[in-house]
Amino acid sequence: MKKGAPTNGESPSRLIDARIKELDGWRGETLAHVRALIQQADPDVIEEWKWSVPVWSHHGIICTGEAYKATVKLTFAKGAALEDPTRLFNSSLEGNTRRAIDLREGVEIDAEAFKTLIRAAVALNRSSAK
């Protein structure tokens, strides 16, 4: 799904499916893998399509998933407020709000640490929504 392409009323989940298929190769596999981990960590997660990219939300945005030539970037909306003892965040570290994880070809994400980070983001969103 090209950036800025019309969505024609497609569901966000279908748009994400199409993006994964369009990416093909390691980027599509990586996006599909982290999507599955997000859904495992939070079965109530809401998939959205904003700014022409996949967005996962629960009481607010958890993270976005963008694909670039050399990386799949997961940007956490409130990442600076999250504990990251395993140091998954490796990008956008200078900001006061967001943090990101850049995944490169051949690099495996720590699935349990990632799911813990997703749950922490949901808990933060939930506490902020009150």
Q: Residue 124 class from Cβ within 10 Å (0-12 exposed, 13-18 middle, 19+ buried)?
A: buried
Q: Between β-strands 61-67 and 53-57, what pairing exists: parallel, antiparallel or unpaired?
A: antiparallel
Bridge partners, residue 73, by sequence: 66, 102
- Residue 20 has a pLDDT of 94
The correct answer on CATH 3.90.1150.200 for the domain covering 12-129 is: yes
Predicted confidence (pLDDT) per residue in 91-127, tens digit:
999 889 999 999 999 999 999 999 999 999 999 999 9
Domain boundaries defined on the chain: 12-129
Residues 18-58: pLDDT tens digits? 999 999 899 999 999 999 999 999 999 999 999 999 999 99
The closest alpha carbon to 35, from 56, 10, 5, 60, belongs to: 56
